[in-house]
Chain A
Amino acid sequence: MDLPLVLNTLMLLTLAILSTPIIFPMLSSKFKNTPSTITSTVKASFLISLIPMIIHIHSGTENLTLLWEWKFIMNFKIPISLKMDFYSLTFFPIALFVSWSILQFATWYMASDPHITKFFTYLLFFLVAMLILIISNNLFLLFIGWEGVGIMSFLLISWWHGRAEANTAALQAVLYNRIGDIGLILCMAWLASTMNTWEIQQIVSPTQIPTLPLLGLVLAATGKSAQFGLHPWLPAAMEGPTPVSALLHSSTMVVAGIFLLIRTHPLFSNNPTILTLCLCLGAMSTLFAATCALTQNDIKKIIAFSTSSQLGLMMVTIGLNLPQLAFLHISTHAFFKAMLFLCSGSIIHNLNGEQDIRKMGGLQKMLPTTTSCLTIGNLALMGTPFLAGFYSKDQIIESLNTSYLNTWALVLTLLATSFTAVYTLRMTLLVQTGFVRIPPLTPMNENNPAILLPITRLALGSITAGFLITSYIPPAKTPPMTMPLYIKVTAIVVTILGMMLALELSKLTQALIKPKRNSFSDFSMNLGYFNPLAHRFITAKILGGGQNIASHLVDLSWYKMLGPEGLANLQLMASKAFTTLHTGLIKAYLGSFALSILIILMSTY
């Protein structure tokens, strides 16, 4: 059996099956999409995409397919080339599995929405764009997918567009993504002008690539993956419905920036500036997000900040020159983060729209399956041994500890790991345990297969995914095998310390002590004062400077004082001085006649 042919055909078949709900309604008017047809389409393409992954695991087959080529100009042709290597073959089933579960959940969550079919079509468009991004081999096709996921993110965040905060959040997402896009376009422009190609295989050169295009790539990842500096859009994106948060802003879209860095990793694997930049930026992002999550009271915002923190951890892994480990963390993170969002969605709907964890409590008895899966997800997130998160997170922390890199990044990452434990345990305790703080007469019912099946499926994935992936995929670089005991157990110890701290702090809620307000809690609650600084102060300064330059400098001073009107004023002064001579009276003319005669007489002497 010709394995590359089967691999290629089945991957293209996966993409084709996913695009049938988009194409068929255009061909005949009798064919209408429904949420359940779209869900079963995604389920079918997930099952088909398992086969290429198994073929790759079995025999290491990879494939590079060239579809049609755009003959742009004479020596610069842009092909549609799809690379089916380890990254794309493994990510396809994972993304499709998570999407199938989320779509099945959304049939219950958005059941009361009149435009539910449009919602599902939007999610499908997003999924197709994301898969194009994953499977692309040249930066042009990747950019198409990049922009596609950006647009669908905008449309989906502002799904309830009657709400002003949703529109603001969608606009924020688009603007921050756009700033990142500048970096990607910079890199593409440099590559097109210097190397005359956008194919990833051809841009790996033995000589060092200058730092500027690589900085553009890092900027693109900062924008799309919400690293520190371009991060405010991710917590604001929680205005969208929970399936949107689960699909876009936890598993798939936000990892697109990290995935870009993984794909173009050979470009900067020997450029220490970029690696150090990624390391420090990632460490900063992970600590900042974890600090902000400590004092959040909205359940979706806590999970959003935890996503942001894990994205920072992925960036740290890129900075350690370990792209495959970052990809492993992306894969395992997708499972438990999507599951956390689905559990929160189930809780929110069952509490009739309540998102504040201070008004939840004791849900363990009322929503058993949901809260058990919430616990599993939180334990996986904390890096509990042998759940999914452990295999990637512990390996990252070990590699960080045994490397000769920046100690400050190490300290920040360890602190963020313990903060992760603190806020996840805080969320778990406040939501599930303790006294009930919800209003009575809340009709709660989770006995719907549309809720239970996706959540339990993803829980199964959270438990086993790490184990399965690391068993069947050999690592690209040998992980550090020997290290002192205290380094080996650093991650666990730090997590346990965080858990103890959280348990200690949770007793405060029952002790009737008013929590003291100090500058640290203020910093955490106001998200580091970043939002008012960046959104108000900086923009006011820039717009004020623009007004100064355009209006005051150019219009008022140059045009009025120095330019045309200034000349006119000078002329006016001269004219006013000479007006007395032009009275039209004969006396003036005779006076000038006498003056000229006098001058002539004088000149003869």
Chain B
Amino acid sequence: MSILHLSFYSAFTLSSLGLAFHRTHLISALLCLESMMLSMYVALAMWPIQTHTSSSTILPILMLAFSACEAGTGLALLVASTRTHGSDHLHNFNLLQC
């Protein structure tokens, strides 16, 4: 594959790994999520340029809109969890009720 594809794949993979293996703060996970969105935006934007089909040009804009909502949701969750747990440290978030 071309070096363009490699950069998309590696950016996406590294971001998802970063999402999975974040250490302390939830906000670093959200940042990784944003970088995943960014790499997907760039990939979607390169697609009509490479395949010369202009009807899918709207796709990155749609994705951006949804990712903005999603980022807002993520930040709201962050604020809500900080309000309840006192910080956004990950080891506070426990599904176990005991």
Binding site for B on A (CB under 8 A): 582-587, 590-591, 593-594, 597
Partner of B16, one of A582, A584, A594: A594
**Would you list 14 pairs from A and B whose C-beta atoms are within 8 A, ordered by A residue?**
A582-B96, A583-B96, A584-B94, A584-B95, A584-B96, A585-B91, A585-B93, A585-B94, A586-B90, A587-B90, A593-B20, A594-B17, A594-B19, A597-B16
Flag B80-98 by CB within 8 Å of A: 1 or 0 each: 0000000000110111100
Q: Besides the contacts A584-B94, A587-B22, A593-B20, what 7 more A-B pairs have beta carbons closer than 8 Å?
A: A583-B96, A585-B91, A586-B90, A587-B21, A590-B20, A591-B20, A594-B20
How far in angstroms is the closest Cβ of chain B from A522? 75
A586 touching B16 in the complex, CB below 8 Å, given contacts A591-B21, A594-B21: no
Closest residue on chain A to residue B20 by CB atoms: A594
Residues of chain B in range 43-98 having any CB-CB distance to chain A below 8 Å: 90-91, 93-96
Closest residue on chain B to residue A593 by CB atoms: B20
Q: Bound complex: CA of A597 vs CA of B95, how far in Å?
A: 23
Q: Bound complex: CA of A220 vs CA of B22, how far in Å?
A: 88
Closest residue on chain B to residue A589 by CB atoms: B95
Closest residue on chain B to residue A590 by CB atoms: B20
List the B side residues contacting A587 at CB < 8 Å. 21-22, 90-91
How far in angstroms is the closest Cβ of chain A from B28? 12
Q: Bound complex: CA of A587 vs CA of B26, how far in Å?
A: 10
List the B side residues contacting A594 at CB < 8 Å. 16-17, 19-21
Q: Bound complex: CA of A377 vs CA of B17, how far in Å?
A: 113
| Top-5 shortest CB links A-B | A594-B20, A584-B95, A584-B96, A584-B94, A590-B20
Which interface residue of B17, B29, B91, B95 has the most chain A CB atoms within 10 A?
A: B95
List the A side residues contacting B90 at CB < 8 Å. 585-587
List the A side residues contacting B22 at CB < 8 Å. 587, 590
Q: A583, B94: Cβ atoms under 8 Å?
A: yes
How far in angstroms is the closest Cβ of chain B from A599? 13
How far in angstroms is the closest Cβ of chain A from B70? 16
Closest residue on chain B to residue A597 by CB atoms: B16
Which interface residue of B17, B20, B22, B90 has the most chain A CB atoms within 10 A?
A: B20
Q: Bound complex: CA of A591 vs CA of B21, how far in Å?
A: 6
List the A side residues contacting B16 at CB < 8 Å. 594, 597
List the B side residues contacting A586 at CB < 8 Å. 90, 93
Closest residue on chain A to residue B91 by CB atoms: A585
Which interface residue of A582, A585, A593 has the most chain B CB atoms within 10 A?
A: A585
Flag B11-26 by CB within 8 Å of A: 1 or 0 each: 0000011011110000
How far in angstroms is the closest Cβ of chain B from A602? 12
Closest residue on chain A to residue B9 by CB atoms: A601
Closest residue on chain A to residue B23 by CB atoms: A587
Closest residue on chain A to residue B95 by CB atoms: A584
Q: Bound complex: CA of A597 vs CA of B17, how far in Å?
A: 10
Q: Bound complex: CA of A583 vs CA of B91, how far in Å?
A: 10
Q: Bound complex: CA of A75 vs CA of B42, how far in Å?
A: 103
Q: Bound complex: CA of A542 vs CA of B71, how far in Å?
A: 81
How far in angstroms is the closest Cβ of chain A from B27? 13
Q: Bound complex: CA of A269 vs CA of B20, how far in Å?
A: 97
List the B side residues contacting A591 at CB < 8 Å. 20-21
